[in-house]
Amino acid sequence: MDLRLLRYFVAVAEERHVGRAASRLHMTQPPLSRAIRQLEEHLGVVLMERTLRGITLTAAGTTLYDGARAVLEQVDRLEHQVLAAAGARHLVVGTLADAAERLGRVLVDEFRRRHPEIGISIHEVDLGDPSAGLRSHLVDVAVTRTPFADNGISTHRLRTEAVGMVVRDDDPLAGRESVRVAELADRTWVRLPTGTDDLWCRYWTVAPDATAGPVMRTIQECLQSVMWNGTYALAPLDQQLPEGLTLLPVDDRPPSHLVVAWRTPMHDPAIQAFIDVASDVFSDER
């Protein structure tokens, strides 16, 4: 199978929407749709059901998604190893998938402008890995959010972000000025994949005895679940929302921090250069 087609498929599967996936991949929708059809024709199966609500994976699509992510991670790891063996300095930056477009548009562009001698690429992970690939040694440095278990990892704070609860506009709670998650444990909340960092789960979801909803891997999946299934989810208060959804400030969660993270000890000038650029870029935003 063509790795390019697999990357396209994974993007659509995670975004659950061709338009958002096209934006994430910096391409237009028609060639992306053609690529997915080409992959389906090659395999002789239907991978996705297209509805007015977006994209739903078939059983075959779910199997391909799980396998494709593993294959692409292995390819990325191999590429990193080959570049390191050749002596060419190439920095791999990890990020949560929903932040990749903004990261590439602002931070990576600025890094390339300042350090054209260092190659740089972005590796996207889902919400099941808040270290954004650091723990699995898929990346050199990461831009992610707290809190997560940081043993063996150092972080530098870029920005503080209050957290909110995502609800539908027609939800009875939508008119409130703020909410407390502890008071809403009887509602159906999104879940994160099994084995996800415990600190991360407890912050971004709810108590273990709360009513458990579907497992979500990206923020877009969470937002769609709120919109179409009436579940509840948490997100940064500055999260961009589709029409029909509202963010309510949450009173019983401390702020989350957007951070740049790296494995310790760190003695790599390229990583330090990235940290410095990230600090400057986000300092300009404050």
Are the beta carbons of 235 and 99 closer than 8 angstroms? no
pLDDT at 104: 66
Task: Enumerate domains of the chain plus CATH numbers.
Answer: 1-85 (1.10.10.10), 89-159+256-286 (3.40.190.10), 163-254 (3.40.190.10)
Are the beta carbons of 199 and 267 closer than 8 angstroms? no
pLDDT at 210: 46
pLDDT in tens, 41-86: 999 999 999 877 778 899 999 999 999 988 988 887 787 677 666 6
pLDDT at 167: 94
Cβ-Cβ contacts under 8 Å for 234 (sequence gap 6 or more)? 163, 164, 165, 166, 181, 203, 204, 205, 250, 253
Q: Which amino acid, residue 76?
A: D
**Placement of tokens 């059983």 in the chain:** 59
pLDDT at 286: 47
pLDDT in tens, 116-152: 888 898 888 889 899 999 988 899 999 999 999 989 9
**Placement of tokens 């991949």 in the chain:** 25
Low-confidence ranges of the chain (pLDDT < 50): 209-211, 286
> Given the DSSP bridges, would you call strands 153-161 and 188-191 parallel, antiparallel or unpaired?
unpaired
Are the beta carbons of 44 and 29 closer than 8 angstroms? no
